[in-house]
Amino acid sequence: MSNNKLTAVILTNNEEYHIANAIESLRGLNADILVIDSGSTDNTIKIAESMGAKVVSEPWKNDFAYQRNLAKKHTNTPWLFFLDADERVTKELAENINRALDGEFFLYEIKRVTDSLGGAHKFGAFSPDYVKRLMPRVAEWVGKVHEHPECEYPLKRLKGEITHNPYKDWSAWLKKVNSYSEIFANDKKGKNFSALTPFFRASFGFIKMYIIKGGFMDGALGLNMSLAHAFYTFMKYVKVLEKNF
């Protein structure tokens, strides 16, 4: 049995493009590595196991929080750290995580920096972006999509960054948001929305990302991502209306 205080957890489904780099970025942590896979048909599992990760297979239930909460069933460490397959841990962050393990329990949030689809996102949809990822094992994840952890311990910010490259191209973006919007629609099925809701929500989404959050300062990249966010928002609510029809 490992003497580590931390388990790093990665959720996967057909992530052979990302998984090796994600695991490699965890080498600076004093941690066990657990991969929770939801039915990969590519080489994800083979790659993860070859790099020393423990792999647990669990059928996908359209619920990200459920999938993350499985980590407690398959680990015994007092701390858990969650990393997505398309994310990387910087050296500074790894050092600060290792130091935090010897201190009191906190729910730690970490700055995430996104570089994808043509450049670094300094404003707009991906900024500012702080994600809660280091936590005591008693923390509980809630929310089927855009999930977040909750626990009794206070929130604290940890120095260092998670780097994020979620989409290798626009086709990958479309595939992911189509999946997210389907989960959203299934969760909201039966809720009453008017036929105009998709238009109003999408319009506000664009204004929020492009103007309020400063997406315009990222130039063409910011415009494209703000339009993409509006499209995703429109798609979410259209799918709800479709399921209620």
Encode the chain (245 residues) as per-residue pLDDT tens digits: 567 999 999 999 999 999 999 999 999 999 999 999 999 999 999 999 999 999 999 999 989 999 999 999 999 999 999 999 999 999 999 999 999 999 999 999 999 999 888 888 888 888 778 999 999 999 999 998 889 999 999 999 999 999 999 888 899 899 989 999 999 999 999 998 999 999 999 999 999 999 999 999 999 999 999 999 999 999 999 999 999 98
Write the burial class of residue 6 (CB in 10 Å: 0-12 exposed, 13-18 middle, 19+ buried). Answer: buried
| Number of domain units in the chain | 2
Whether residue 120 lies inside any domain: the answer is yes
Q: Do residue 101 and residue 133 come from a single domain?
A: yes
Q: What is the pLDDT of residue 65?
A: 96
Q: Do residue 136 and residue 224 come from a single domain?
A: no
Whether residue 146 lies inside any domain: the answer is yes
pTM: 0.84
Whether residue 180 lies inside any domain: the answer is yes
Q: What is the pLDDT of residue 10?
A: 99
Q: Do residue 65 and residue 141 come from a single domain?
A: yes
Containing structural domain, residue 185: 170-244
Q: Do residue 152 and residue 176 come from a single domain?
A: no
Q: Copy the structure tokens of residue 212.
A: 């309020």
Q: Do residue 41 and residue 148 come from a single domain?
A: yes
d(CA 118, CA 50): 32
Q: What is the pLDDT of residue 115?
A: 87
The full DSSP string for the chain is ----SEEEEEEESS-TTTHHHHHHHTTTSSEEEEEEES---SSHHHHHHHTT-EEEE----S-HHHHHHGGGGS---SEEEE--TTEEE-HHHHHHHHHHTTS---EEEEEEEEB-SSSB--SGGG-S-EEEEEEETT-EEE-SSS-EEE-SSPEEEEEEEEEE---SSHHHHHHHHHHHHHHHHHHHTT----TTHHHHHHHHHHHIIIIIT-GGGGHHHHHHHHHHHHHHHHHHHHHHHHHH-
Q: Do residue 115 and residue 231 come from a single domain?
A: no
Q: Do residue 17 and residue 120 come from a single domain?
A: yes
Whether residue 184 lies inside any domain: the answer is yes
Taking alpha carbons only, the member of 71, 79, 130 closest to residue 106 is: 79
Whether residue 1 lies inside any domain: the answer is no
Q: What is the pLDDT of residue 155?
A: 98
Q: What is the pLDDT of residue 134?
A: 99
Q: Do residue 132 and residue 217 come from a single domain?
A: no
